[in-house]
């Protein structure tokens, strides 16, 4: 079973940098199942919404607030290798806030403007920034196809004002004056990732991505979690606290294989 206890150096990196890169969180078989299922998933692609960036580019996003018992996406959300780490990072029991698949397509995938997730989750009634996400690379993420970039240590700045950005105000972005000043003092890091690599990042970490001008897609699964004690005080677009069962890591392959076989049978 994969070790899920954070080392002292990982804890220090999380506290100092606001993110933690874990290579090989999903193995090759798990990545293959996740990628192939997502590519075949007509419901996922039909539910995708378009978001415009400031330069008019468009990227696609499919978001789920609920968890199913028979999808590989939910199995990843439930997996101990992620949930155990999240609880150590946030210092409390965590629950599923939502998860989403980012579909950044070749040559057409738009950018995501500078933002903090808590910059807009704050408006959902979450009093504290004890929230975090894990981005799992489904395809290789490179600078050429618009990998995520972060400002190391920017989570220590606290929440920055956010407002509508993008060609059609489709995105919510951070105050660019603050972002520009942060970039003068803190390190910009491009998070290039192989499939199966995971990036855990704090809700206040400034992050963005550029347009995909390459001929390769960059899909990624992002699982978002909230601390139990940070249960929103009002109803919002994402659910309040509910118990999240931790599943054995083996369930990813078990459920993924069953889902893949079901899809294959339906396509015959």
Query: Residue 254 is part of a domain; what is its CATH number?
Result: 2.60.120.620
Domain contains 150:
yes
Domain contains 98:
yes
DSSP annotation of 188: E
Domain contains 125:
yes
Domain contains 24:
yes
Domain contains 255:
yes
pLDDT of residue 1: 45
Domain contains 38:
yes
Distance separating alpha carbons of residues 109 and 145, to the nearest angstrom: 8
Domain contains 68:
yes
Contact indicator for 81, 25 with CB cutoff of 8 Å:
yes
Distance separating alpha carbons of residues 13 and 85, to the nearest angstrom: 13
Strands 112-115 and 49-52: unpaired
Domain enclosing residue 220, as ranges:
17-228+238-267
Structural domains in the chain (count): 1
Domain contains 8:
no
Kindly list the averaged pLDDT for each block of 10 residues, start to end, along the chain of length 268: 76 98 97 97 92 74 96 98 97 98 84 91 96 98 95 97 72 89 98 98 96 93 98 97 97 98 86
pLDDT of residue 170: 60
pLDDT of residue 89: 97
């Amino acid at each position: 079973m994969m070790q899920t206890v954070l080392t002292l150096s990982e804890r220090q990196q999380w506290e100092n940098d606001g993110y933690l890169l874990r290579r090989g969180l999903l193995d090759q078989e798990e990545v293959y199942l996740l990628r192939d299922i997502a590519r075949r998933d007509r419901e996922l692609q039909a539910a995708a919404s378009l978001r415009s960036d400031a330069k008019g580019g468009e990227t696609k996003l499919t978001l789920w607030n609920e968890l199913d018992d028979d999808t590989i996406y939910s199995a990843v959300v439930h997996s101990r290798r992620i949930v155990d780490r999240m609880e150590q990072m946030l210092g409390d029991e965590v629950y599923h806030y939502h998860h989403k698949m980012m579909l950044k397509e070749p040559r057409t995938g738009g950018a995501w403007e500078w933002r903090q997730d808590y910059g807009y989750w704050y408006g959902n009634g979450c009093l504290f920034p004890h929230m975090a996400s894990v981005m799992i690379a489904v395809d290789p993420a490179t600078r050429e196809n618009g990998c995520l970039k972060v400002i190391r240590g920017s989570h220590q700045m606290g929440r920055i004002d956010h407002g509508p950005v993008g060609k059609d105000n489709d995105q919510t972005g951070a105050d660019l004056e603050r972002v520009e000043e942060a970039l003068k003092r803190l390190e910009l890091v491009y998070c290039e990732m192989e499939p199966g690599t995971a990036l855990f990042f704090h809700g206040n970490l400034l992050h963005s991505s550029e347009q995909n001008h390459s001929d390769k897609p960059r899909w990624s699964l992002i699982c978002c979690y909230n601390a139990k004690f940070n249960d929103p005080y009002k109803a919002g677009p994402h659910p309040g606290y509910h118990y999240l069962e931790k599943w054995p890591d083996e369930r990813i392959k078990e459920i993924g294989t069953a889902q893949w076989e079901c899809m294959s049978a339906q396509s015959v």
